[in-house]
Chain A
Amino acid sequence: MQFWATVLLDGLTYASYLFIVSLGLTIIFGVMKILNVAHGSFYAWGAYTAAFAIGFITDNDLSEALFLPAILISAILVGVVLGYIIERFILRKMYNQDIHLIVLATFGVFLIFEDLIIITFGVDPYLPYQPAMMLGWIDIVGLNRGVYQLTLILLASIVAFVCWYGLTKTKWGKLLQSVIYDREISVAMGIDVTKVYVVTFIGGAILGALGGAYVAPTTSVSPGFAIDLVVLSFAVVVIGGMGSIPGALIGSLIVGILRAFAVHQAPILELFVVFAVMAIVLIIRPEGLFAPPKPRKI
């Protein structure tokens, strides 16, 4: 009982953070058909900027209430700036190119931003633990867990709700869905696809950065820590179905809980299970578990 509670709780926390990051990735793929390796850069930059902001607040003895706004603002700042730069100057020139070339271009961008981090923030790890300290710890069914980690689950739920509401109830969401469904027809109907692309990419980038910024207080932020995350979020997106938003939710739950189970039961299999599931899903249902049925176009 205790064991399962641990797995469930850790799994949920982990899944929430994977969900926030992968959601950005899957939206970008769904709308723009781009597999964005540079998503890891948003994540890393979000984490570093948040760590820097938190450090600034503590060093200057500002109010602790500023922690949360600082995290959110860093995520939005990073998402808007990096997202706009990458979309405008790299991706916009490549939309008609082969999909593999675009993946490689984002890989190049990822490499560049990895080093820009080292140049900007240095190689020493940042430990912005103050927000997590501030909220303290709590006992849940006999497990001692940081409150901050638990708020991650709350944040993920909020993000999921906002995303669902935005996509199905607002005008923008409906435009987005029509572009996902059929780009050519949407252009013909007068939707400004370039604008949709910019907004989507920036939105996805903000989500990626938010994942990083919010996780920063719970880990040590050091160079190269986005490398693992890139493939993990790929696994989530592939398991759920590339471009599917409910898929990102299910995918991150599967990956999160499986990984938590492996960590507590057989640590040697920690990464193995995630990618084994990814491979099995690709073999059985290449479109992903929750990919919407596709109409055949002639």
Chain B
Amino acid sequence: MFTGIFKDTSVRILITFMIVLCILSSFVLPDWMQNNFMYGLSRGLAILGLMLLWRTNLVSFGHALYYGFGAYAVALCQKYFGITDILLRFAIAVIAAGILGFCLGFILRKYREIFFAMLSLAFSMVLYGLLAKAEFLGSTDGMSISPSTLFGMELTRQYLFYLITFFVICAAISIQAYLRSTLGHLTTAIQDNEIRVEYLGYSVQKAIHIKYVMSACLAGGAGGLMAASLGQVDPDSMVNWNVSGELVFITIMSGWGNILAPFIGAIIFEFIRTYAFEWAPQAWAAIVGGTLLTIIFFFPGGIWSVIEKVFNYGKKKDVK
């Protein structure tokens, strides 16, 4: 599955991009920009997961479930077991969300279109309902998270940044390897025609289930990293339905052409939000909403399609 993965153009571009980011963040970038990149990369993992689902025409309006679940898993492990190691935190978030995704996947894999979206929304709101009212989990105030450590040592922001890029590279390479495998190629086939895929001898439900668990893991990891870099988890900014909406919005904004697209999209979103908040604190949501409408109406392929157009300008077009 992983043979020759480093010869893949997308992977090479991704690694180059991340290395450039690391270099920039060590020497050039001011702190707030570094934070923006960090949040963008963390959230990008969740977007990558949503992109996987989107490729099968499944849109989850409840992915904040895994995002928040990963974040709360990190918070609870700190509270009850004192775990602050960043590697463990990431692993815990991914595994917790993966297990939840595996269980719910048995139900969700039978659903399509609006029913899939609604059922995932229902599941995520169940978690929100519990978290928002549970006193011992901090209800709407959430819980705070102490700075991460690595093998017992304090971790500076700079090293956290490196580690996040490392996690992102690992995750994105695995996803690229998956997309290149037979199972990954089934993705688009299922979108085209489920019945034909069944006749070819593959189980559509199984393929969707696997994909769903992967996307849950990614969203959980994103939540875990986000919790670690924000230092705070709370239901309204991690599990509520508008968070899921935001995630889907970034997915559309990014486009689904490449594994790098989600990260670029998430970083751009982070910057739109920061600038909008600074220039027009009363109207930042309106700016985000306006961007969303602009993307839907004028750039249906997302930012990636624009990037592709710019770079392929003058080249011979592929025959499709």
Contacts and interface: CB of A to CB of B under 8 A. Distances in A.
Interface stretch (B74-82, B153-161, B291-299): B291-299
Interface stretch (A10-18, A201-209, A226-234): A226-234
Interface string A75-104: 000000000000000100110001111011
Interface string B121-165: 111011011101111000000000000000000000000000000
Nearest to B290: A112
A267 B134 CA distance: 10
Interface residues of B, number: 44
A52 interface: no
B113 interface: yes
Contact of A104 (B113, B125, B134, B296): B296
A21 to B, nearest CB: 16
Given A103-B117, A282-B118, A283-B119, A275 B292 contact: no
A137 B117 CA distance: 43
B113 A107 contact: no
B242 interface: yes
Nearest to B118: A238
Contacts of B118: 234, 238, 278, 282
Contact of B292 (A100, A108, A242, A279): A108
Interface string B287-309: 01111110011001000000000
A185 interface: no
Contact of A230 (B133, B241, B292, B293): B241
Given A101-B296, A115-B284, A275-B129, A282 B122 contact: yes
Given A93-B297, A231-B125, A231-B241, A110 B133 contact: no
A62 to B, nearest CB: 31
Contacts of A278: 118, 122, 125
Interface in A112-133: 112, 114-116, 118-119
A114 B286 contact: yes
A112 B169 CA distance: 35
B133 A116 contact: no
Interface in A246-289: 267-276, 278-279, 282-283, 286
Contacts of A227: 240-242
A35 interface: yes
A107 B293 CA distance: 9
A235 interface: yes
Chain A interface secondary structure, helix, strand, loop or mixed? helix
A interface residue count range (under 10 / 10 to 19 / 20 to 34 / 35 or more): 35 or more
A37 interface: yes
B99 interface: no
A270 B133 contact: yes
Given A101-B252, A108-B293, A275-B125, A115 B119 contact: no
Interface of A: 35, 37, 90, 93-94, 98-101, 103-105, 107-112, 114-116, 118-119, 227, 230-231, 234-235, 238, 242, 267-276, 278-279, 282-283, 286
Given A107-B292, A116-B286, 14 more contacts: A99-B114, A104-B252, A105-B293, A107-B249, A108-B288, A111-B289, A112-B285, A112-B290, A115-B283, A227-B240, A227-B242, A234-B118, A279-B122, A282-B111
25 contacts: A90-B293, A98-B57, A104-B245, A108-B288, A108-B289, A111-B288, A111-B292, A112-B285, A112-B286, A114-B285, A115-B289, A118-B282, A227-B240, A227-B242, A231-B125, A268-B135, A269-B133, A270-B129, A271-B132, A271-B133, A275-B126, A279-B119, A279-B126, A282-B119, A286-B119
Interface of B: 57, 59, 61, 107, 111, 113-115, 117-119, 121-123, 125-126, 128-130, 132-135, 240-242, 245, 248-249, 252, 282-286, 288-293, 296-297, 300
